[in-house]
A and B are shown apart, each in its own frame.
Chain A
Amino acid sequence: MLRFVVRRLLQIVPTLFVLSLLLFAWLRLLPGGPAAALLGDKATPEKIAELNRVLGLDQPIPLQYFRYLGRSLTGDFGNSLISGDPVIDEIGRALPATLELAVAALLIAVVLGIPLGYVAARYRGRPLDTTTVIGTLVGVAVPVFFLGFLLKQWFAVDLGWFPPSGRQSVSIDATDVTGLAVFDGLLTREFDASWDALRHLVLPAIALATIPLAVITRITRASVLDVLGSDFVRTANSKGLAPGTVRGRHVLRNALLPVSTTIGLQTGLLLGGAVLTEKVFVWGGIGTLIAQGIERRDYPRLQAIVLLGAGVYVLVNLLVDLSYALIDPRVRLR
C-alpha cells in the first residue's frame, strides 16, 4: 500500500517533465508573443526585438527550456510578465478562490448525482427516469459560460436572490486566514462573512457543477442498472432479503466502482470549467489568471499553472485508485 503510493507519487515527476516540455514548445508556437502583447499599439519590430532580448526570448528555444527547467527545480518558476510578481505568489493568492469554487461544485455534483442516478435506475423507464436522462443530456450539452450568464441574469439581476459577481461583499470586513472565504468565516466566528461568501458561491458553483453532475448521474444510473441485472443480486433476492438490504449492501457498493473513476476524471476537468465560470462571475481565481495569461502570452504564469493542474490531476487519480482498493477487495495495490 505505502509502496504503491510512493511509486505513484514518483510517477508524477516524469509526467510533469514531459508535460513541461510539450507546454514550453506549444506556447512558443502560438502566434504573437509576450513582447507584442505587452507593447500593444506601440509595438514596432525594433521595440519587440528589444523587449525579447530583455526577456531572454531571443535565445534558442532549447536553451530557454533548459534555463527554465534549471530554475524551476529550485522552485523558481519565474515572474509574471503581466504583474512582475513571482508566479508562485500569484498562484498562492488565487488558489483558495478556485479551490473553494471547485470543492463546492464537486460536492454538489457528487451529493446530488449519485442519489439521482440511483433513483433513475430504480425507476427505469418511468417519467422520473426519462426526465433525468433528458435533463442530464441537456446538462452535458449546455456550455458553462452560457449557463453562467443565464443563472446570473435570472437569479442575480432579475430576482436579486444572489449577488451577481465577486466572492464577498465590499462592506464585509472579513479576516483572511486560509483564503477560503466561507471556511475562514466559520474559523473566526464571523458568521456573517461566511454567509455572505456562501451566497456569492452559490451561482458559480452551480454553473461549474452542471457538467460533472450530469456525467456522474448518467454513469451512476448506467452502473446501477448493470449491477441490478447481475447474478449476485439475483442470489441476494433468492435469500429473501429485504429490498433495502439488497440495494444498500449488494447493489450500491458494486455500482460505485465506475462512479469513483468518473469523479476523478471530472475533477481534472473542473479547471477548464473554472476558467469560464470565473470569467462570468468575476471570481478572481486561477481561472482568471489563466484567461489573462493567454491573452497576454504570459509564458511563465501559464507554464506554472498548467503544471500545477497536472499535478492535482495525478493526485486526484491516485485517490481514486486508493478508493478502488477500499471498495473492491479484488483490487490489489502493488
Chain B
Amino acid sequence: MTTPLLEVADLGVAFTRKGEPDSVAVDGVSFDVQPGEIVGLVGESGCGKSVTSLAIMRLLPERGVRVTGSVRMEGTDLMTLSDSAMREKRGRDLSMVFQDPLSSLNPVIEIGLQVTEVLRRHRGLKKDAARREAAELLERVGIPDPRRRLDSYPHQLSGGMRQRVMIAIALACRPRLLIADEPTTALDVTIQAQILELLKELVADSGTALVMITHDLGVVAGLCDRVNVLYGGRIVERSERHRLFGTPRHPYTYGLLGSIPRLDAPPGEDLAAIRGSVNDNLPWAHACAFAPRCPRALERCSEVSPPPELAGGRFLRCHNPVPAEA
C-alpha cells in the first residue's frame, strides 16, 4: 500500500455542556483513504458520520465541542494547524459537499459569485478569468447554458442543479480529497443516480479521493472501493465493498443489508428490520453499544467491550460475528 492521503486516527468528538455529562458523538474512529480512492462511511442517523466529516474539515463550532485524536493529510496533522493555515487548505486541498443544497447555498448571492469566490481565494484568478472558469466548471457538472446561470440565484435552480453547483464549487480547485455528506438525500430518486454518476466521473477524472457519507447502502454498492460501517460513534466493520456485501460479518451490517427491499423477494414478505433504536445504545467503554438491539448478542456483549480485530483484510468489532459462510 502507498502512503495514505488521509489518516484518521482515534478521532473523538464530544459535545460538552456545563453541568451535564459530555455527549460523545464520535468515539475513537480510525480509518484511512488512499489517493483517488472512494471510501464509504455508512450508518444510521446519529451514528456520528456527519460529525466525523465536520471534524475532519474542522468546521465544528469551537465552543462546546471537544475534538481528540489526529487527522493527517499527506503527513500534516490538520488538528494542530493554525486557523489560517487550515483556511488555506479548506476549499483547495480538501472540500465538502453537503446534504441540502438549497440551505447550503447563500440565498441572496448569485451563483456566479459563489463559484468564483473560491477560485479567486485559492487560485488567485482575476474577476474575468474567474468568471470564465466558473462557467466552464458549471458546464462540466452538466448545467445547461452556464453563462446565463452565473447570474441566477439558488432559488431559481432545481434541486439537482443546485447540488451540481455545490459539486462545481467543491471541485473548483481540484482538491485531493472530497467529502460528500449525504449528497443525494435531499434529492428525488431519479436525480440521485445522476448526481452519483457525476460525482464518480469527476473524481475519477481529477484523481480526487472521495469520502462518501451515507445511510444508503445502495449508494455505497455502486460507488465505493472500501466501506466503513459506523455504529454509535465507532467503526464496527470495514471491508472491501464486494466482500462486505457478499459476507457481512457484523450483525449490524448484516441487519442493514437484510433491510434493503429486494425485487426478487416473495410477495407479501415482511421487510427485515433492526429492532430498537439508537436510544438503547450501551456505552462502548464496557459493552458493545449494539448489544441491546443485536439478535446474536451473548451475555458478555453487555459486559465487555469487543476489541477490534483484523482478519483477512477485514476490520471487525464483535464478540459473536455472523459466520463467514452464513
Contact assessment for B59 and A237 in the assembled complex, using a CB-CB cutoff below 8 Å? yes
**B:102-148 near A, CB below 8 Å:** 103-109, 113, 117-118, 121-122
Decide: B104 and A231 in contact? CB cutoff 8 A.
yes
Which of B87, B92, B98, B155 interacts with A235 by CB under 8 Å? B98
Is A242 a contact of B96 with CB atoms below 8 Å?
A: no
List the A residue with the shortest CB-CB distance to B155.
Answer: A330
Residue A37 at the chain B interface, CB threshold 8 Å: no
Is residue B91 within 8 Å, beta carbon to beta carbon, of the partner chain? yes
In the complex, chain A residues whose CB is within 8 Å of the CB of B59: 234, 237-238
Contact between B90 and A245, CB atoms less than 8 A apart: no
CB-CB contacts below 8 Å: A206-245 with B: 230-232, 234-242, 245
**Number of A-B pairs whose CB atoms are under 8 Å?**
79
By the criterion CB–CB under 8 Å, are B90 and A327 in contact? no
Distance (Å) between the CB of B60 and the closest chain A CB?
10
Q: Mark A163-185, 1 if CB is under 8 A from B, else 0.
A: 00000000000000000000000
Interface centre among A230, A237, A245 (most CB of B within 10 A): A237
A237 neighbours in B (Cβ, 8 Å) = 59, 90
Provide the residues of chain A in CB contact with B88, threshold 8 Å: 240
Say yes or no for B95: interface residue by CB 8 A criterion.
Answer: yes
A306 to chain B, nearest CB (A): 37
Q: A329 CA to B98 CA in the complex, in Å?
A: 23
Q: Is residue B153 within 8 Å, beta carbon to beta carbon, of the partner chain?
A: yes
Determine if B57 is an interface residue (Cβ-Cβ < 8 Å).
Answer: yes
Interface size class of A (residues with CB under 8 A): 20 to 34
Inter-chain contacts of A327 with B (CB < 8 A): 108
Measured CA separation A118–B170 after assembly (Å): 29
CB of B169 closer than 8 Å to a CB of A = yes
CB neighbors of A among B35-53 (8 A)? none
Which B residues from 69 to 112 make CB contacts under 8 A with A? 86-92, 95-96, 98, 100, 103-109
Decide: A239 and B104 in contact? CB cutoff 8 A.
Answer: no
B63 beta carbon closer than 8 Å to chain A: yes
Cβ of B155: which chain A residues have Cβ within 8 Å of it? 329-330
Of A234, A241, A249, which is within 8 A of B109 by CB? A249
CB neighbours (8 Å) of A199 from chain B are: none
Question: Which residues of chain B from 224 to 263 have any CB-CB distance to chain A below 8 Å in the complex?
Answer: none
Which B261-293 residues sit within 8 Å CB-CB of chain A? Answer: none
CB of B106 within 8 A of CB of A240, answer no
Residues of B within 8 A of A236 (CB): 106
Give the interface centre of A231, A253, A254 by most chain B CB atoms within 10 Å.
Answer: A231
Partner of A330, one of B96, B121, B153, B170: B153
Instruction: Identify the closest chain B residue to A251 (Cβ).
Output: B106
B105 touches A232 (CB 8 A): yes
With A and B bound together, what is the CA distance between A230 and B100 in angstroms?
11
Known: A234-B98, A237-B90, A242-B87. A254 touches B108 (CB 8 A): yes
Q: Is A125 an interface residue (CB 8 A)?
A: yes
In angstroms, Cα B96 to Cα A238, docked, is 7
Q: How far is the CA of A235 from the CA of B183 in the complex (A)?
A: 13
With CB as the reference atom, state the residue of chain B lying closest to A331: B108
Provide the bound-state CA to CA distance between A231 and B96, in Å: 12
Contacts A238-B59, A240-B121, A241-B117; is A232 near B91 (CB within 8 Å)? no
Q: How far is A236 from B108 in the complex, measured between Cα atoms in Å?
A: 13
Complex contact A240–B108 (CB within 8 A):
no
Contacts of A329 in B (CB 8 A): 107-108, 153, 155
Contacts A234-B98, A245-B117, A329-B155: A254 and B90 contacting too (C-beta < 8 A)?
no
Please give the distance in Å from B157's CB to the nearest CB on chain A. Answer: 12
List residues of A (177-204) whose CB comes within 8 Å of B's CBs. none
Contacts A238-B90, A240-B87; is A231 near B108 (CB within 8 Å)?
Answer: no
Residues of B with C-beta under 8 A to A330: 107-108, 153, 155
Are the CB atoms of B95 and A238 closer together than 8 Å?
Answer: yes
- In the bound complex, how far is the Cα of B155 from the Cα of A289, in angstroms? 50
B296 to chain A, nearest CB (A): 39
Interface membership of A279, Cβ < 8 A? no
Could you tell me the distance between the alpha carbons of A328 and B109 in the complex, rounded to whole angstroms? 9
Q: Are B106 and A125 in contact (CB under 8 A)?
A: no
With contacts A238-B90, A327-B108, A329-B155 known, is A230 near B103, CB below 8 A? yes
A125, A240, A254, A328: which contacts B91 (Cβ < 8 A)? A240
Interface residue ranges of A107-132 to B (CB < 8 Å):
125
Q: Is the CB of B118 within 8 A of A241?
A: yes
The answer, among A125, A232, A239, for a CB contact under 8 Å with B107, is A232
Find out whether the CB atom of B103 lies under 8 angstroms from the CB atom of A241.
no
B57, B63, B91, B96: the one within 8 Å of A241 (CB): B91
Question: Is A250 part of the contact surface with B, judged by Cβ < 8 Å?
Answer: yes
Task: Tell me how far the C-beta of A127 lies from the nearest C-beta in chain B, rounded to whole angstroms.
Answer: 15
Instruction: For B95, give the chain A residue with the smallest CB separation.
Output: A238
Choice from A231, A241, A253, A328 contacting B87 with Cβ under 8 Å: A241
List residues of chain A with CB within 8 A of the CB of B91.
Answer: 238-241
The 6 sampled A-B contact pairs (Cβ below 8 Å) are A232-B104, A232-B107, A237-B90, A239-B91, A241-B118, A245-B121
Given contacts A236-B106, A239-B90, A240-B86, 14 further A-B contacts (CB under 8 A): A232-B105, A234-B98, A235-B169, A237-B90, A238-B57, A238-B59, A239-B95, A240-B118, A241-B91, A249-B106, A250-B109, A327-B108, A329-B155, A330-B107
8 residue pairs, one from A and one from B, having the closest CB atoms: A240-B90, A240-B91, A239-B91, A231-B103, A232-B106, A239-B118, A240-B87, A329-B153
